[in-house]
Homo-oligomer: A and B are copies of this chain.
């Protein structure tokens, strides 16, 4: 699964319409694949979320607690982003009160190597 299959070009276009200057510079269309990868995983809580889901589904509030410091709003936003990308899945459990669990997809699992390396690196260097 992928988002697009070709290396996208740098897209820096400047158009003038009357006095209005509009610059189109899509931050995801980067020439360097590392940069593009970082745009997906490098967000503020994304790596951690993925990591905390690796051992099984986790419920929303539990997740926010695990992240220690992230507001519900932020976690919600990141989860939605990651759901549309296909990194995580959302499951509604029919209970009262309602419960929602998030799980990692196969695509999400494909990032765990990278994250593990990052974790190892961080720990080895006392980050």
Contacts and interface: CB of A to CB of B under 8 A. Distances in A.
Interface stretch (A14-22, A41-49, A75-83, A91-99): A41-49
Nearest to A37: B122
A34 B47 contact: yes
Contacts of A69: 10, 12, 25, 30
A113 B123 contact: no
B125 A2 contact: yes
A48 B34 contact: yes
A51 to B, nearest CB: 5
Interface of A: 1-6, 10, 12, 25, 30-38, 40-45, 47-48, 51-52, 66-69, 107, 110-111, 113-115, 117-119, 121-127
